[in-house]
Amino acid sequence: MGETKAHPMNLLRTYILPRILQWALVIFVGISATFLIPRLSPINPVDEMIGRMTAFASIDPHAVVSMRESATALFGLEGTLLEQYGRFWARLFTGDLGVSFGNFPRPVSDIIAAGLPWTIGLLSVAILISWVSGVFLGALAGYFHDRRWAQFLERFVVVVYPIPYLIIAFVLIFVFAWWLKWFPLVGGSRGQPGLTWDYISTLLYFGFLPALSLVIGSTAFRFIMAKSLTTTEIASDYVQYAELAAVPKRKIILFYVARNTMLPQVTDLALSLGALFEGALITEVLFAYPGLGFVLYNAIYNADYNIIMGITLLSIAGIATASLIIDLLYPIFDPRVRLR
C-alpha cells in the first residue's frame, strides 16, 4: 500500500497550532515580565522627571502636585498594579507605547522607529556573514582536517569562541579606532542621509567595527558546530561512495557535506537569535552606534520605563516571531522531514 499523506487539518492540529500557541505563550509571559520588572525598581520616573524640571527653577508647590498627578496618569502609573496591568494591555493592543520620560513629550514609537533600522541593518549583516562563513569554513576545515591551515584555523577559533562580545569590541576599539585610528570611535554615519555612495560609504565605514565584533564571535560558534557535523558527514556512506566514484571534491563539499551541515544550524539559528540581539545591543552601547542598544542604555540610565518596555517588547515579539517562522519553514529546508 502506498504511503498516506498527512491531512491538512492534522498538519494544522499537530504541528502548526502547537507552535503558534507556544509562540503566543512566550510573548505573553515576556510582555508580563517586562511590565512588572521596571516597576520593582526603586527609582520613581515621575520623581526623576519633576526633579529635573525643578532643579534650576523655583516652581509653585501646587503646580508641582498638579504636574505629578498629570504625569502619573499620562505614564499609566496611577491605581493599583493590577489596574496598571489592565490599562497596559489595552494601550498595547492599540499600538500606544506612551511617551518618553526623558524626551517628553516625544512618543516612544518615534524613538524606537528612529533606532530600529540601525539595529536591523547591523544584526542582519552580522547574522548573514557569520552564518555563511562559519558553515562553509567549518565544512572545509572538517573535510580537510589533516591540513595545516585547517588545524591552525581550528585552534584560533577555539581561542576566540569563549571571548564575550564585550571584550572583542573593546579590543577592536583599542586597536583600530584608538591606536591605529583607521575607524571612528563613535557614531553611525556622516553627512546628509540619502541613497548616494557618499552616504552609504560612511555607513559602511562607521558600521564596520560594530559588525566585525559580532561576526567574529558568531562565526567561531558556527565554525565549531559545522566542523563537528562535518566529521560525522564525511564518515557517511554517500560521501565515501562519492569519493570512490571520483566526484569532484568541490561538489562533495558543497552538495554533500556543507548542505547537510546547514540543516541543524537552521534550527540553531532560531535558538541563538536572542544571544545575537543581546550582543548587538552591547556593541551599540560601546560604539555609541545609534541603534536600539544605545537608546536602551540611555533609557535605563534615566529610568525611562516606557522606552525600556517598548524596546523589550519589540525584541521579545521579533525574536519569538523569527523563531516561529524558521520552525515552520524547516521542512522546506529538509525534505526528509515528514509531518504527520
| Beta carbons of 136 and 285 less than 8 angstroms apart | no
Give the amino acid at 340. R
Q: Cβ distance 209 to 228 under 8 Å? A: no
Per the CB < 8 A criterion, the answer to whether 296 and 302 are in contact is no
CA 176 – CA 184 distance, rounded (Å):
9
Residue 177 pLDDT > 80, yes or no? Answer: yes
**Nine cell digits for residue 211:** 559588525
To which residue does cell 558527514 refer? 233
As given in the structure block, the three cell numbers for residue 43 are 527609582
- Give the Cβ contact number of residue 238 at 10 Å: 11
Of 30-34, 143-147, 263-267, the range with the lowest mean pLDDT is: 263-267
Residues 76-86, mean pLDDT to the nearest whole number: 81
Give me 136's grid cell. 562553509
Q: What is the mean pLDDT of the chain?
A: 81
Q: For the beta carbon of residue 278, count every other beta carbon within 10 angstroms.
A: 14
CA atoms of 175 and 162, how far apart (whole Å): 20
Average pLDDT over residues 80-101: 83
Is residue 93 pLDDT above 80, yes or no? yes
Q: Residue 25's pLDDT is what?
A: 92
Instruction: Give the C-alpha separation, 85 to 35, whole Å.
Output: 7
Q: What is the DSSP string of 242-270?
A: HHHTT--HHHIIIIIIIHHHHHHHHHHHH
Position 311 confidence tier, pLDDT thresholds 50, 70, 90: confident
pLDDT of residue 287 exceeding 80, the answer is yes
Q: Of residues 206 and 11, which shows the higher confidence score?
A: 206
Measured CA to CA, the distance from residue 328 to residue 337 in angstroms comes to 12
Q: What is the pLDDT of residue 242?
A: 83
pLDDT recorded at residue 71: 72
Q: Out of 4-13, 60-69, 283-292, pick the least confident.
A: 4-13
For the ranges 44-48, 85-89, 160-164, 174-178, the lowest mean pLDDT is seen at 44-48
pTM of the model: 0.77
pLDDT of residue 10: 67
All three cell numbers of 221: 560558534
How far is it, in rounded angstroms, from Cα 19 to Cα 26?
10
Structural domains present in the chain: 116-302 (1.10.3720)
Sign of the Cα pseudo-torsion (238, 241, 245, 250, in order): positive
Judge contact between 141 and 150, C-beta under 8 A: yes
